[in-house]
Amino acid sequence: MARKLLYVPEQTVPDKLVKVTRFRNDTRAGVSMSADGTLMTGNFTKQYDANTSWILMEGMIPGGKNYSDQCGILAMLDGADTNNDTPRHHGVYYSGSNGGAVWDRYILYVHRIVDNTDAAQELNAGSRSFRVGWYPKNGDSGQRPFEVVNVNSTDDGRNQQYGSIMSIYEYLY
């Protein structure tokens, strides 16, 4: 309203979205037990360098049957700082029923911002890969967030096939 009264032109902000790459996995699989596991991975091309653009990883991975509760879930690009307590563990969360029954469901959600406060090599331009998985801080083997990824009627006859999705957004600063 004040803009119209004062005749101040509206400001426009150019779209800063460079590219979106989407991934989908609809295959039911058992989740291996290890001290360093992967639930989803993929490759994409980043257009700009670390000083020009940043990445948003956005997605979700359905799972079934509780296992480790806490296991150090992570989302990262290749080149990430893999020391404990680094940003690769930020913006990733999972929760669900803790009973361990065949019908117990989990959802692992990723909303990870990778910008120049992270490891610079994580944001290099060119062919890149992402990984969503886990690594416990204490290095304990025999861990996993849940027993099955992308549950289906094998786990409970009432289920349809679930699927994992991940989108990689590249934005200009």
Write the single-letter amino acid at 151: V
Residue spans per domain, the chain: 14-172
**Contact, 112 vs 93, CB < 8 A?**
no
Is the domain covering 14-172 a CATH 2.60.120 domain? yes
pLDDT tens for residues 21-78?
999 999 999 999 998 999 999 999 999 999 999 999 999 999 999 888 789 999 999 9
What pLDDT was estimated at residue 22?
98
pLDDT tens for residues 106-158?
999 999 999 988 878 899 999 999 999 999 989 889 999 999 999 999 988 99
| Both structure tokens of 6 | 């004062």
| Both structure tokens of 5 | 């009264």
Q: State the pTM of this model.
A: 0.88
Longest alpha-carbon distance in the chain: 66
**Beta-carbon contacts of residue 20 (< 8 Å; ≥ 6 apart):** 167, 168, 169, 170
What pLDDT was estimated at residue 103?
75
Instruction: Transcribe the chain into DSSP letters.
Output: -HHHHHTPPPP-----EEEEEEEEE---EEPPPBSSEEEEEEEEEE-S-TTTEEEEEEEEEEEEEE--S---EEEEETT---STTSGGGTTEEEEE--S--TT-EEEEEEEEEE-TTS-GGGG-SEEEEEEEEE--TT--SSB-SEEEES--TTT-TT-----EEEEEEEEE-
Question: Cα–Cα distance between 109 and 28 in angstroms, integer?
Answer: 18
